[in-house]
Amino acid sequence: MLNDRYGNPVSTSSHAAVAHYDEALDLIRLYRGDPVGALDAALAEDPEFGSAWAARAGLLVQQTDKALADEVDKSLRAGAVSRLSNRDQIHLAAARDWSDGYYLDGTRRLASLAREMPRDLLAVQFAHTGCFFLGMQTELRDGPVQSLRAFRRGEDGYGVLMGMASFGFEECGDFALAEDYGKEAVAIDPRDGWAVHAVAHVNEMRGDLDAGIPWLADTAQDWAPESGFAYHNWWHLALLYLDAGNTDEVLRLYDTQVRPNPDSQVLLEGIDASSLLWRLLLEGVDVGDRFEPLAAAWERAAEDGNYAFNDLHALMAFVGAGRNDLVELTLKSMKRAASCEGDNAYLTRAIGLPLAQGFADFGAGRFAKAAEQILGVRGIAQRFGGSHAQRDILTLTALHAAIRGKMKPVAEALSHERLQQKPRSAWAGRLALRVSDIAREPDLARAG
Ligand SMILES: [Fe+2]
C-alpha cells in the first residue's frame, strides 16, 4: 500500500493514481483549480481507488448544492465497492452522513478521525468546513491546532494547518493570535487563499480599513489566479470599501470580481453576491438591475430546502428583485424543510425560518416585525453557519429596520454595540449619526 503526500496510507498500488490524488489534495487545500478533475484522473488510473472516491464524495457534498446530489451518489456507490482502508471507510461514511442530511454526525466522524490520524489533512479540512457550516467556532480552532502536533514547521501541510487555525482563532475572537498564524501561513505560501482570508477577517472584525484594504488589494496577484475561492476574498475587499463609503468601488468589484458571470450557478458565489447587494440595498445605494439576474440564478434552488443559510441568501435576492412569488415559495419550502429529518430541519426551524421571515418583513416595510424576528434569534444564529462577518448582515438589517421604523432605543442599542466593537469603522460612525437624528428619517414603515 502506498502513502499520500502527508504519509497516510491510500488504497491503491498505482503510483500514477497517487500522483493525481496528491495533486487533488494540494488543490483542495488551496481551493484552487479543478480538484474533482484531478481525482477523476486518479480514478482513471485505478477505478477501484477508494480513497479517491471518498475524497470526491466529501468534496462535492460539502458544496451544499442539491444539484450535485447525483455526482455525490455516484461517488458514494462507486466508493462502496472499491478497495477501502479503515480511513477511507470513515471518509465515505462521513460523506454519506452529509448526503443524508446529518451534517453534525459527518463532521464529528471526520474530527474523530483527525484526532486519531492527525496527518490526515483531508479529514481536518473537511471537519473544518463542516464546523464552518454548523457554526462550531471552538472546533474550527481546535481541529487544526490539534493536528499541528504532528507537523514540523516548514513541512508540507504545516502552513495550511496554520491558515485553518488562524481562521478558528479569529472566529473565537483571538485576533492577535489569528493574525500571527495567518501571516505565517501566507508567508509560507502566498497562494493560500484561506490563510489570506483568515487575516482579512481579522481586519474586518477590527474595522481596520488601513490594514485591510492593502492586505487584499496588494496581494491579489498571489491568491486570486485559479482560485475557486477568490470571489469570497474580493467580497471581503468590497465590504471594506463599503465601510469606507466608496460605493463606486464596491459596485466595480461586484461586477468584475464577486459576480463576473451574472448567470453563475455556483451557490457559494451567489451567497456573497446576495449579501453584498443586500448591504447596498440597506444603505440606499442604487444597484441598478443587478438583483434581477441574481434572483434568476437563485430560482432553481428556491425549493431545495437543503441548507437554511443558502435559503436566506436566496431570499435576499428575491426580495431585492421584487420577486414576491419566489419569496413566498422560499418561505414555503423552508417550512417544509423545518418539518423534515436531519440537521437542516433544526437549523431551519430554530434560525433560518425566523430570519427569512424577518428579511421578508423588511422588504415589505414591516420594520418592527423584521427587527423582532431577527433579534429574537441573532444570539443563536451562529448555529446555522457562516462567519461573524457574514452574519453581520443580521445585525445590519435589524439596525436598518430600527432606523427606518424609527425605533429609537433599538437603533441606539445596536448602533452603540457596533461602535464599541469597531471604533475605527467609518460605516459604524455614519450609522450612529443617522441614529442620533432618527426623527428626521423618512416615514417608510408599512402596517402589518
Ligand atoms: Fe469570509
Residues 6+ apart with CB under 8 A from 439: 406
| pLDDT at res. 437 | 93
Question: In this structure, which residues have their CB less than 5 angstroms from ion ligand 1?
Answer: 387
Residue with cell 434581477: 292
Band of residue 64 on the pLDDT scale cut at 50, 70, 90 = confident
Closest CA to 361 of 315, 396, 403: 315
Ligand 1 centre from 233 Cα, in Å? 7
| pLDDT at res. 363 | 97
Share of residues in the chain with pLDDT > 70 (%): 100
Ligand 1 centre from 206 Cα, in Å? 14
Is the model's pLDDT at 65 over the cut of 90? no
Mean pLDDT of the chain: 96
3-state class (DSSP) for residue 32: strand
75: exposed, middle or buried (Cβ count in 10 Å: 0-12, 13-18, 19+) = buried
| pLDDT at res. 159 | 97
Ligand 1 centre from 89 Cα, in Å? 31
Band of residue 347 on the pLDDT scale cut at 50, 70, 90 = very high
Ligand 1 centre from 63 Cα, in Å? 16
Is the model's pLDDT at 190 over the cut of 80? yes
Tell me: the pLDDT tens digits for 201-256? 999 999 999 999 999 999 999 999 988 889 999 999 999 999 999 999 999 999 99
Strands 2-3 and 9-10: antiparallel
What crossing angle do the helices spanning 267-282 and 291-298 adopt, rounded to 10°?
140
Mean pLDDT of 368-394: 96
Residue 187 vs residues 54, 136, 180, 181, 238: alpha-carbon distances, Å: 31, 27, 11, 10, 24
3-state class (DSSP) for residue 446: coil
Residues 6+ apart with CB under 8 A from 93: 106, 109
Measured in whole angstroms, the distance separating CA 13 from the mean position of its chain's CA atoms is 37
Confirm if 194 and 229 have CB atoms less than 8 A apart. Answer: yes
Q: What does pTM read for this prediction?
A: 0.94
Ligand 1 centre from 443 Cα, in Å? 35
| pLDDT at res. 229 | 87
Measured in whole angstroms, the distance separating CA 233 from the mean position of its chain's CA atoms is 11
Mean pLDDT of 282-311: 94
Higher pLDDT, 447 or 74: 74
Whole-angstrom Cα distance, residue 219 to residue 322?
38
Is the model's pLDDT at 448 over the cut of 80? no
| pLDDT at res. 442 | 84
Is the model's pLDDT at 306 over the cut of 90? no
Confirm if 74 and 106 have CB atoms less than 8 A apart. Answer: no
Higher pLDDT, 32 or 443: 32
| pLDDT at res. 314 | 97
| pLDDT at res. 398 | 98
Residue with cell 423582532: 372
Neighbours of 258 (CB within 10 A): 25
Ligand 1 centre from 204 Cα, in Å? 9
Ligand 1 centre from 43 Cα, in Å? 33
Ligand 1 centre from 49 Cα, in Å? 34
Mean pLDDT of 85-103: 96
Length of the chain: 448
Confirm if 185 and 163 have CB atoms less than 8 A apart. Answer: yes
| pLDDT at res. 211 | 96
Ligand 1 centre from 39 Cα, in Å? 27
Tell me: the pLDDT tens digits for 256-292? 999 999 999 988 899 999 999 999 999 999 999 999 9
Whole-angstrom Cα distance, residue 258 to residue 383?
26
Residue 10: enclosing H or E segment and its boundaries? strand 9-10
